[in-house]
Every structure is written in C-alpha cells, then in structure tokens.
Amino acid sequence: MSLLAKDAVLPPVDQIQDLLIAGRPAAGDGPPLDVTNPATGALLGRVGTSSPKQVAAAVAAGRDTLIQTNWAERPPHERARVLTRAADEIERQADHLADLQMSENGKTRQESRAQAMSAADIFRYYAAVCECSEESMPPARGDYFTMQVYEPVGVVAALTPWNSPLTMGAQKIAPALAAGNAVVLKAAETTSFVTLALGQCVVEAGLPKGLLSVVTGGRETAVALVEDPGIGLISFTGGTATGQSIARGAADRLVPLILELGGKSPHIVFADADLEAAARAVANGIFGGTGQSCVAGSRLFVQASVADRFLDLLIEAAGAMTLGPPSDPSSVIGPLSSFAHRDRVEAFVKSGIDAGGEILFGGCRPEGEVYAQGAYFQPTIIGGLDNNSTVAQEEIFGPVLCFMTFEDETDLIAAANDSAYGLAAGIWTDSYRRAWRVARALEAGTIWINTYKQLSIAAPFGGFKLSGLGREKGLQGMRAYQQMKSLYFSNSYG
C-alpha cells in the first residue's frame, strides 16, 4: 500500500500492505490500483493487486492449514473464542475502519462507524452460533439410529461489494470460519484498504495462519479465485450479471454457490397507512447511503387516492436529508462511490426524462463549492413513467426513485412482481390482514411491514429470481458453508 497525501484520512491498521496471503502481509505482484476519495476527487493511494499465482498460493495455504491445524475438528468453543477476539479487535479499530470506508466509498462517517460496529456484532453472533448449533438425533425407523453431522466445504472463495465492505466481509468470513473452513476474500477494487484492514483485525485475533487471505485486483483476480480447483464453495455479493457469470463457470464443477445479487425493490403505501412515517421511511429507504444498497426501495407504489398528499410529504422528507461531505456530522447523504458511477446514474435519469418522465425532485448534480470536486448527485424522484420503463426495471444503484400509483390490490401485486428481481419489499398499511395477503403474494426474500431496512444478523437474508441463490445470516448462514452427512448405526450388529 502506498499512501500519497500526508493528510489522507487513511490511518493504517498495523501497517496494512497490499495483500494478506495466509494471514501475512505481502506486496501485490499485479499492477497497482488507484484509490480515489469520491468526496474530493483526491488520490488517496495505490494498492498492489494479486497475481493469479498469489491467488493460487492463498487457496493452497487455506487447504494446507485446515489439515495442519485440524481447525474443523476443534471443539466449537475454541473456534468461537477466536471469533470473539476478532469481534473485540474490530470494535477496538472501529474508528480506523470507519475512516477507511468513508474515504474509499463515500459513506458518511456515522454510517461507516455503525457498520464497523455491526461487523463486530456479526463475529460475536457467529461465535454464539458456532457453540449452540448442535442438533438432536432424529427418530429411527428400524433397529438402528441415525444422526446428521455437518462437515466444512474446505476453502471458501468470498467476493464482497464496494458499498458495504465491512458488514459484507464480516457476513462471509465469520460464518465460514465458524463452520470450520478457510477463507480467501477478494476485496472490491475501490475498497481494498478497508477490506485488508478488516482481514488484519481477524488475523490478529489469533486465527491460525493460512485460514484467511485477502486478495486484491479486478476481473483477473476474481476469475483466478473462482476457477481455482481448490475452492469448495463460492460466496458472492454484487451485480446480477457478474453472479450469473460466476454461476456458469461453477456449473461444470458443481461448486456450490451463495449469490446475493441485485434488486429493484417495491415500496408500497396504502391509503390507510401512517403517511408521515411512510414518507420518512421511503426517503431513507432509497436515499440513505445515496441509494447504493441492494435493498433500496427504488420502485414506489402509492395508492392513487393519497398520491398527491404523499408526494408532498416525501419531498419534504427528502429535502430534510442533508447532502454533504461524508466527514461532516450533519451529512445524511454523501457522494456516490465514484465519478464513473455518477455518470451511470445520470445516464439513467436522462433515459427516464427522454422516455417521458418528469423530475419531481432533484435530478441533477448539486451546486456549490462543497460539491464541486466530488461525485455528488441529488436525491431524485421521477414520475410519469410506468413499471415497464427502463428506470423502473433496471437496477440503478443510486438515489433515484420511480414514483408510481395504483388503484387496487390485484393490479398492485402484478406490478410489484413484474420484475426480474425479488430481493426485498416494503408495505405500509393499517390492516394486518392486507399486510399478510400482500406480503405472502410478493415475490421477494425479505418483506418489511410498516418499517424498512430493518436488518438482523439472526434473520436469514437472500432473494428470489435474479436476486440470487441461497441465504446468508442466521443459523442457515453458517450451514450454507457446510455439507450435511448422515451416519447410520446398527443396533443388531454382533
């Protein structure tokens, strides 16, 4: 790692280097990546990237260390002890980690620190799951008894996105280690520093050398990792197109997959809802984190009889969300993650206008000296388009909300489900019967009722349709990194 600016907000965590190979810092053999602060446009530093040879070395080290240390055979409480120490170290370094994430992807410092603390909580949760995951013996159907045991898959390839590298990294590392595996984690290109720092925290907790490596780079690194014959499972969070490509490559080898992919989540407001509360939740659900969330409520369906009133409340709520530098405590929304991503968001907004849409709020870059050098874009509401429009069908991954109306429940459900995605949805209504009917009818893995973006590490998370395969979080989130084996013992032998 090379830090260029003396005042760069990138405090090193125990002298982070380019890579962690088998738990040890190493220089990358590949071409370096520039790391740019999206709030200022300043070059923060460069990180060396992993060559295919280094990726192979990381996978081999994981496999060898599993054998040498008997990690999977250690009593659960011993693995749990390491995870707990990792949680303590992450919490100790929370300010450092928050500054790293804020500098790399533009999330506000308040959100970044909350995510650092959440990463620590994820490790503590899986320490507890590791110790409390024994299952009872099923009843036999003959003169024998059976039991099921869970074996690790071996070396896990984990690939995390740039929008929430702390929580996404923790959600893969902690359950995979708890399940008895080794992990090779690939950092997203724009958030390499914070991902390396997270890995360093886990290593310093006393994890056996070799059980965790962090590699950096772009597509070449990712391909080398997911195609390595020593990989027992691939866990990927990111775009749907990339997930599909990984799935095609894994098919020939029948490598199991956990894919948490894109979303185009419907947020539904019925006339009998608490409209003020719903407006605040809708605004936060799409504009919080600058809309760079897989569960962002980007398609809004409001019952026609209250649409005008709700739009006024929504604009008021959006206007109250301060857009500014992520280091400013008053900022609720920061810049987009990169200038290239801002260009992409702007192109989607233009396509909506060209298709006949109307900008109801925002729609352009903010003016002012504080925004001039950063990748800022205003929270944007587009009306006048139906659910078949490009901006209502494709994941924008930015602060852009499609405002649509509906008359009756049947048409609403048809429109809400008319999407290639099925990750999440929100419902606002005062009728629990309606909430139940609509929630059961919606094709999505997570449904929020009279709330939005409430997340728990204890609740399984994943999507329907092109939003992915498998589930993360909860006990199932650890089981996903294991293979079930059935054992039969005869009572009549001898």
Residue span of the structural domain in which 299 resides? 266-455
Candidate list 111, 294, 346, 443, residue with the active-site label: 294
Pairing of strands 380-383, 358-361: antiparallel
Q: What is the CATH number of the domain that holds 476?
A: 3.40.605.10
Same domain, yes or no: 78 and 171: yes
Same domain, yes or no: 18 and 108: yes
Same domain, yes or no: 16 and 99: yes
Same domain, yes or no: 6 and 49: yes
Q: What pLDDT does 2 receive?
A: 44
What does 279-347 look like in DSSP terms, one character per residue? HHHHHHHHHGGGG-STT---EEEEEGGGHHHHHHHHHHHHHTS-B--TTSTT-SB---S-HHHHHHHHH
Catalytic (active site) residue 260? yes
N- to C-terminal Cα separation, the chain:
65
Candidate list 189, 453, 472, 473, residue with the active-site label: 472
Q: What pLDDT does 71 receive?
A: 96
Same domain, yes or no: 206 and 251: yes
- The kind and range of the H/E element at 383 are strand 380-383
Q: What is the CATH number of the domain that holds 425?
A: 3.40.309.10
d(CA 359, CA 357): 7
- pTM attached to this predicted model: 0.93
Q: Is residue 149 part of a domain?
A: yes
Q: Is residue 461 part of a domain?
A: no
d(CA 181, CA 66): 7
The answer to whether 49 and 218 are in contact (CB under 8 A) is yes
Q: Is residue 491 part of a domain?
A: no
Tokens of 381: 């509401």
The answer to whether 111 and 130 are in contact (CB under 8 A) is no
Same domain, yes or no: 151 and 237: yes
Phi then psi dihedrals of residue 7, to 5 deg: -100, 15
Catalytic (active site) residue 130? no
Candidate list 260, 346, 395, 443, residue with the active-site label: 260
Q: Is residue 490 part of a domain?
A: no
What does 426-482 look like in DSSP terms, one character per residue? EEE-S-HHHHHHHHHHS--SEEEES--S---TTS-B--EETTEES-BSHHHHHHTTE
Tokens of 304: 């026609």
The answer to whether 42 and 1 are in contact (CB under 8 A) is no
Q: How many domains does the chain have?
A: 2
Same domain, yes or no: 285 and 243: no
For the chain, which ranges sit under pLDDT 70? Answer: 1-17, 136, 494
Residue 158's beta-bridge partner residues? 185, 235
Catalytic (active site) residue 172? yes
Query: How many helices and strands in the chain, by DSSP H and E?
Result: 15, 22
Candidate list 172, 264, 453, 473, residue with the active-site label: 172
Same domain, yes or no: 178 and 288: no
Q: Is residue 282 part of a domain?
A: yes
Same domain, yes or no: 252 and 338: no
Same domain, yes or no: 86 and 167: yes
Same domain, yes or no: 215 and 134: yes
Q: Is residue 125 part of a domain?
A: yes
Same domain, yes or no: 234 and 327: no
Catalytic (active site) residue 402? no
Q: Is residue 67 part of a domain?
A: yes
Q: What pLDDT does 9 receive?
A: 40
The answer to whether 427 and 406 are in contact (CB under 8 A) is no
Q: Is residue 463 part of a domain?
A: no
Summarised one tens digit per residue, pLDDT across range 81-135 is 999 999 999 999 999 999 999 999 999 999 999 999 999 999 999 999 998 877 7
